[in-house]
């Protein structure tokens, strides 16, 4: 037996199934009745003294994904003998397909019922979401009065956190900045390497953005080679070719007509994305620990590994697994981004409130950064926390300049004390861009969750479009649910 195995025992008139967690426990339905609950038990409790068997699969997913699927349904109590039994559960964990050999005699009928149900649900779903190029008045008013807020590519209720709209670019390339006077400028979209919606982040788009990151790293390496050989040697570009190959493999996989071949190629691509994830987690962590200017590029590359993997699972119509992989990305990225942001704030964040910057970096702008780090912060607490720092930087600005890390100096052209403050807005822009990128990944997870909740396929979600003709200057499309989610 091994981690992620589909295991079962023979109980005479039926077989009981579960997933081997690889640590002496199994996840399976307890109490084969209408009240059955998916639980984790010891292997002894699973077998009840009976002989243990393993079901073999020609095609199955990685053990980590199998265990994640199983754990995602712990506590579920929707047991159904025909449509959701222990074998259905174990087969779904293993392959993503909901199957049970024990009910083959009834499955044809069940599939017909399920197909009708899904078709009906999708038709209903199409009537419960509305796509438009025109920002609804209630959303515009809500943003203005603070009852609604934008987080990445979603608009949600400030208090309940329920989503009232998803944003999607209506042009192929969108910078994230909007022209002055634009209707959508009310949303204050920040600049990010990522698009607003995961539905826009196809494999080709990811490859294009990776190419931009790689070029920036090459330029940085060339600059450092002239001034700092040691820092230049810490830039590694060797793995980008592998990442591109994985993206090409994924892109090709979903043009295949044979579903088995499509799934095999997709899983091969996912394996490479997992390899890239480990590689760039290591590089991002090291760069942040050393406060290097390349930290942001490695963080962005790491973000793309999770996005590409989630997109694969969406194309395979597995939104639950896509959600889990995005959550893993958020959990990995959050502490790294926090440390990177604190590095860019420097040893004395009061520098960002220097009088010469009053029209470029306000207290509100600095507070927004601190609120991302700690939501209970407000303008008063941020100002009070910087009181002592104001005096420190006034008394010993030379010491502060000498303590600036490479990650900050990368944006500073003139390192003299009077001039250095003029470049701090560039650093603040990078902080805001990184926070916006994280928030967009968070919004991607919300978008994927909505696809699952609405019962709509990913392909149908991609096809959502306004009934009205696209206005010439429409930068965004708004997807509005009939009720907040």
Q: What are φ and ψ of residue 142, in 5° steps?
A: -65, -40
Q: Confidence class of residue 186 from pLDDT cuts 50, 70 and 90?
A: low
* pLDDT tens-digit map of 88-100: 889 888 988 776 6
- Please tell me the distance from the alpha carbon of residue 75 to that of residue 27, in angstroms, as a whole number: 10
Q: Work out the end-to-end distance of the chain between its first and last CA atoms, rounded to an integer number of angstroms.
A: 42
Contacts with 194 (C-beta within 8 Å, 6 or more apart), sequence order: 201, 209, 303, 307, 437, 440, 441
Q: What are phi and psi of 350, to 5 degrees?
A: -60, -20
pLDDT of residue 77: 83
Of 52-66, 118-132, 174-188, the range with the highest mean pLDDT is: 52-66
Q: What pLDDT, in 10s, does the model give residues 324-374?
A: 899 999 999 999 999 999 999 999 999 999 888 988 999 999 999 999 999
Q: Which of 91, 77, 71, 90 is nearest to 19 (CA)?
A: 90
Q: Quick one: average pLDDT of 135-147? A: 86
Length in residues, the chain? 485
For 121, 169, 183, 236, 469, the CA distances from 133, given in Å and listed in that order, are 25, 10, 10, 43, 9
Pick one of 3.90.1010.10, 3.90.1150.10, 3.90.1720.10, 3.30.1280.10 as the CATH number of 6-105.
3.90.1720.10
**Coil, helix or strand for 15?**
strand
For residue 109, give Cα distances in angstroms to 48, 104, 208, 382: 33, 10, 46, 63
Q: For 204-247, what is each residue's pLDDT tens digit?
A: 999 999 999 999 998 888 888 877 777 788 888 888 999 999 99
Average confidence (pLDDT) over 249-261: 89
Of the chain, the percentage scoring pLDDT greater than 90 comes to 46
How sure is the predictor about 468, in pLDDT bands with cuts at 50, 70 and 90? confident
Nearest Cα residue to 287 out of 238, 233, 360, 251: 233
What is the per-residue pLDDT for 100? 62
The pLDDT, as a whole number, for residue 88 is: 87
Output DSSP code: residue 45: H
Least confident of 13-17, 226-230, 304-308: 226-230
What's the rounded Cα separation, in Å, for the pair 340 and 311?
A: 27
Convert the pLDDT of each residue in 55-65 to its tens digit: 988 888 888 88
* pLDDT given at position 32: 53
Query: In the predicted model, what is the mean pLDDT of residues 167-172?
Result: 77
By CB atoms closer than 10 A (0-12, 13-18, 19+), residue 70 is buried
CB-based burial of residue 259 (10 Å sphere; 0-12 exposed, 13-18 middle, 19+ buried)? Answer: exposed
Residue 216, phi-psi category: left (phi > 0), alpha (psi -120 to 50), beta (remainder): alpha
- pLDDT at res. 297: 94
How far apart CA 165 and CA 73 sit, in angstroms, is: 28
Please state which of the ranges 117-121, 139-143, 278-282, 481-485 shows the lowest mean pLDDT.
Answer: 117-121
Residues 169/477, Cβ–Cβ less than 8 Å: yes
The domain limits of the chain are 6-105, 203-319
The per-residue pLDDT of the chain, averaged, comes to 85
Query: What is the spatial distance between Cα 113 and Cα 357, in angstroms, rounded to a whole number?
Result: 65
Residue whose C-alpha is closest to residue 254's, from 459, 454, 451: 459
| Percent of the chain topping pLDDT 70 | 89
Q: What is the DSSP letter of 195?
A: -
pLDDT of residue 62: 86
User: Residue 171 has what pLDDT?
Assistant: 62
């Amino acid at each position: 037996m091994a981690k992620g195995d589909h295991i079962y025992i023979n109980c005479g008139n039926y077989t009981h199934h579960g997933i081997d967690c690889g640590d002496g426990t199994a996840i399976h339905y307890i109490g084969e009745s209408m009240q059955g609950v998916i639980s984790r038990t010891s292997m002894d409790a699973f077998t009840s003294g009976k002989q243990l068997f393993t079901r073999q699969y020609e095609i199955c997913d990685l053990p980590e994904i199998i265990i994640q699927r199983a754990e995602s349904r712990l506590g579920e109590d929707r047991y159904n003998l025909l449509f959701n039994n222990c074998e259905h559960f174990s087969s779904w964990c293993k392959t993503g397909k909901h199957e049970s050999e024990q009910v083959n005699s009834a499955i044809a009928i069940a599939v017909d019922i399920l197909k009708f149900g899904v078709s009906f649900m999708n038709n209903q779903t199409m009537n419960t979401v509305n796509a438009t190029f025109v920002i609804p008045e209630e959303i515009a008013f809500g943003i203005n009065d603070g009852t609604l807020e934008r987080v990445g590519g979603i608009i949600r209720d400030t208090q309940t956190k329920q989503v009232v709209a998803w944003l999607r670019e209506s042009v192929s390339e969108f910078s994230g900045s909007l022209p002055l006077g634009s209707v959508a400028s009310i949303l204050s979209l920040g600049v990010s390497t990522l698009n607003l919606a995961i539905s826009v982040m196809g494999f080709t788009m990811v490859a294009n953005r990776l190419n931009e990151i790689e070029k920036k790293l090459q330029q940085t390496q060339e600059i450092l080679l002239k001034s700092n050989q040691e820092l230049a040697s810490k830039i590694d570009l060797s793995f980008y070719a592998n990442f591109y190959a994985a993206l090409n493999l994924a892109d090709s996989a979903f043009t295949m007509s044979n579903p088995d071949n499509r799934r095999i190629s997709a899983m091969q691509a996912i394996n490479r994305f997992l390899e890239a994830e480990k590689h760039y987690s290591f590089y991002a962590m090291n760069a942040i620990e050393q406060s290097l200017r390349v930290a942001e590029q490695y963080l962005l590359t790491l973000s793309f590994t999770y996005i590409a993997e989630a997109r694969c699972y969406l194309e395979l119509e597995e939104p639950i697994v896509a959600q889990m992989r995005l959550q893993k990305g958020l959990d990995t990225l959050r502490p790294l981004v926090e440390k990177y942001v604190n590095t860019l704030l420097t040893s004395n964040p009061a520098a960002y409130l220097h009088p010469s910057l009053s029209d470029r970096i306000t207290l509100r702008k600095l507070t927004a950064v601190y609120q991302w780090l700690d939501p209970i912060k407000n303008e008063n607490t941020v100002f009070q926390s910087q009181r002592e720092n104001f005096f420190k930087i006034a008394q010993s600005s030379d010491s502060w300049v000498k303590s600036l890390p490479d990650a900050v100096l990368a944006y500073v052209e003139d390192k003299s004390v009077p001039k250095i403050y003029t470049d701090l807005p560039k650093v603040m822009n990078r902080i805001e861009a990184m926070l916006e990128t994280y928030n967009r990944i968070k919004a991607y997870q919300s978008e994927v969750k909505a696809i699952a909740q609405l019962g709509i396929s990913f392909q149908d979600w991609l096809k959502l479009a306004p009934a009205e003709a696209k206005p010439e200057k429409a930068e965004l499309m708004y997807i509005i649910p009939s009720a907040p989610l």
